[in-house]
Amino acid sequence: MKINKNWHEKHYDSLELGSRIADSVAKGMGSWRFIILQTVFVVVWMGLNLVAFFKHWDAYPFILLNLLFSTQAAYAAPIIMMAQNRQNERDRVQAQEDYITNKEAKLEIEALATKLNSIDVEKLDKIIEMLENMK
């Protein structure tokens, strides 16, 4: 088991089951695979209803198909919005973590610059002392 988790892993571990499901659904619905599968489904649905010899369970204006799409959209929109809200929260956390990291790096760089300056001053003092001793 990994001891030091980055903030992505900590954030994922803090999500509830519903949030994880919503993220998975939003990820799936925002993929080419979903678009292709849905297109195949629609073409098959329409094809079977147009050429059905015995029973047209959803005849031409395809009202049942429209009802299915309306229901899908009614559930998909809030799920996708929940996933976007969590993405915004992740972005805020990442920005805060980046800010803290940058602040710490700035302090370290300032400390190194101060140390380098003191080393330079010490070297210059020694050079001046050596030159004075040479006179």
In a domain, 120, yes or no: no
In a domain, 91, yes or no: yes
In a domain, 63, yes or no: yes
How far is Cα 3 from Cα 32, in angstroms, rounded to an integer? 36
Which segment of 3-12, 56-65, 84-93, 101-110 scores lowest on mean pLDDT? 3-12
Q: Which of 83, 89, 77 is nearest to 20 (CA)?
A: 83
Cα 87 from chain centroid (whole Å): 6
In a domain, 23, yes or no: yes
Cite the DSSP H helix spans in 5-62. Answer: 7-14, 17-29, 32-51
Q: Give the domain extent around 68.
A: 7-97
| pLDDT higher than threshold 80 for residue 92 | yes
Q: Which of 12, 10, 33, 25 is nearest to 82 (CA)?
A: 25
In a domain, 53, yes or no: yes
In a domain, 81, yes or no: yes
In a domain, 135, yes or no: no
For residue 127 the two structure tokens come to: 């050079």
Please report which confidence band the pLDDT of residue 105 belongs to, taking 50, 70 and 90 as the band edges.
very high
For the chain, state the CA radius of gyration: 32
Name the maximum alpha-carbon separation found in the chain: 116
In a domain, 51, yes or no: yes
| pLDDT higher than threshold 60 for residue 86 | yes
Domains held by the chain: number: 1
∠ CA 7-9-11, nearest 5°, is 65
Q: Which residue has the higher pLDDT, 31 or 13?
A: 31
